[in-house]
Amino acid sequence: MPALYKSKEKGKMLFLQRDRCKACNLCINICAVKAIIPDTELNSRAGYPPAPNPESKGCTYCGTCELVCPDFAIYITDLSLLEE
Ligand code: SF4
Ligand code: SF4
């Protein structure tokens, strides 16, 4: 599931390169609205990457997690790039 959140209204999505993530949790800790939590499944780097938090009100597409990610694994991008 590479797109953690999608907004048709904003034309944006929060995208995760799942196997690029080293599970440092910086994104999870910085998110002001607690939209992401550690996944329950490991990735190929034996870490738990971020996943949507069902207890939250969702992503605001603020881009803060993108700014702190050292591995460029999570970022906001245009929803139109997603082929479905
Ligand atoms: S874009 Fe903002 S609201 Fe969405 S997960 Fe990242 S830090 Fe949280
Ligand atoms: S900041 Fe980047 S590398 Fe760290 S847990 Fe989040 S997505 Fe993974």
Domain that holds residue 62: 3-79
CATH number for the domain that contains residue 61: 3.30.70.20
The verdict on residue 64 lying in a domain is yes
Averaged confidence pLDDT in the chain = 96
Q: Residue 80 — φ and ψ, nearest 5°?
A: -65, -15
Ligand with an atom nearest the CA of residue 14? 1
The verdict on residue 57 lying in a domain is yes
pLDDT at 82: 81
The verdict on residue 21 lying in a domain is yes
The verdict on residue 84 lying in a domain is no
pLDDT at 69: 98
The verdict on residue 31 lying in a domain is yes
The verdict on residue 23 lying in a domain is yes
The verdict on residue 40 lying in a domain is yes
DSSP codes, 20-55: G-----HHHHH-TT--EEE-SS--TTSS--EEE-TT
11-47 confidence digits (pLDDT tens) = 999 999 999 999 999 999 999 999 999 999 999 999 9
Q: How many domains does the chain have?
A: 1
Spacing, Cα 21 to ligand 2 middle (Å): 5
Ligand 1 nearest-atom number relative to CA 60: 3
